[in-house]
Amino acid sequence: MYPRQFEYSAPASLDEALAALANNPAAKVMSGGMSLIPMMKLRLFSPAVVVDIGKIGGLDSIEDRGDHLAIGALVRHVATANSPLVQQYAAALAKAASLTGDPQVRNQGTTCGAIAHADLAADQTAAVLALGATMVAKSTGGTREIAAADFFVDTLTCALQPDEILVELLVPKAGAGEGSAYTKLGRRGGESDYAVAGAAAWVRKTNGSVDAARVALTGVGSKAVLAAAVGDALVGSDGSATAIEAASAHAAEGVNVLEDLHGSVEYKTHLAKVYVQRALTAALT
């Protein structure tokens, strides 16, 4: 299975890559290629030009910048998953990266690539929503920051413009009393494969009570979404098992749950509650 023919370039610098995108409205950015290449092979998508950013130096680091971590465009899933910094300060993202794809996919695919791809059942999309991360997009016209909450537009559609590259992901570092977690049911059972349903949770506790919480769902609708009603219900509580259960009941509130091959609306609504409860429990532990 070959993709349709296309023009390939592998610029050595970010500036060259941005110029290539600016000059070719039909160009598509590729980092690891773990989603793009299968789509091209299946001919679901046939870009005229592929700009491979994989040869650009300096984009593969995870940096501690004080109050946040910066994850570069070419940081592989395996690097995100195994990073002591991500594990300590953004546990939901490390966990979501560790459950993305399979070992070979994690060796080649990138965190930023998966986020920009915006699959409706991806793992790290939910994690960045719950963690309140920020995407840094660059084009020849400049740099802009996009909040995770504004980033996921629809299935396979994010807020990036065709001439922009997601150059890094900024994740706030968990401080005292803060915790995050990600849990899911995979399509192949357990936690394997894309999420039938998955939930990421971030919670902050001050003086024994929850004063901030953000929960996000993946796999249950057309895109990863914030389950805002859960956070609202949990804030002000003591974060006990009872409070978590009560808040989790709001998991699908305001969320457009959709049926797919892997489950009915009723089933996915049920899973949303179950996995939100598990994610909150883990985040508060």
Partner 1 sequence: MEVSLTVNGQAVTSEVEARTLLVHLLRENLGLTGTHVGCETGYCGACTVHVDGTPVKSCTMLAAQVEGAEVTTVEGLANGELHPVQEGFWERHGLQCGYCTPGMIMTAAGMLADNDNPSEDEIRHGIEGNLCRCTGYHNIVRAIEYAAAKMRGDEPAAPDWEVV
Euclidean distance between CA atoms 204 and 61, whole angstroms? 28
Nearest-approach distance from CB 259 to partner 1, in angstroms: 23
Amino acid in the structure at residue 132: G
Euclidean distance between CA atoms 193 and 190, whole angstroms? 9
Size of residue set near partner 1 by CB under 8 A? 28
* Residue nearer to partner 1 on the CB measure, 50 or 166: 50
11 binds partner 1 (CB under 8 A): no
Q: Which of residues 166-195 bind partner 1 (CB under 8 A)?
A: 192
Is 126 in a helix, a strand, or coil?
A: helix
Nearest-approach distance from CB 270 to partner 1, in angstroms: 26
Nearest-approach distance from CB 189 to partner 1, in angstroms: 11
Euclidean distance between CA atoms 172 and 180, whole angstroms? 11
Alpha helices in 170-236 (DSSP H): 228-234
Q: In Å, what is the CA distance from 104 to each residue of 19, 68, 78, 95, 108?
A: 31, 29, 9, 17, 7
Question: Which of 12, 26, 42, 241 touches partner 1 (CB under 8 A)?
Answer: 42
- Expressed in percent and rounded to 5, the helix, strand and coil fractions of the chain are 35, 30, 40
5 binds partner 1 (CB under 8 A): yes
Contact pattern for partner 1 over residues 58 through 97, marking x by CB under 8 A: ----------------------------------------
* Residue nearer to partner 1 on the CB measure, 101 or 198: 101
Question: Which of 14, 22, 105, 235 touches partner 1 (CB under 8 A)?
Answer: 105
* Residue nearer to partner 1 on the CB measure, 104 or 140: 104
Euclidean distance between CA atoms 58 and 56, whole angstroms? 7
Q: What tokens appear for 102 in the block? A: 């399979």
Question: Which of 34, 73, 128, 217 touches partner 1 (CB under 8 A)?
Answer: 34
Euclidean distance between CA atoms 136 and 193, whole angstroms? 28
Where along the sequence are the contacts to partner 1 (CB under 8 A)?
A: 1-8, 10, 33-34, 37-38, 40-42, 50, 52, 54-55, 101-105, 107-108, 192
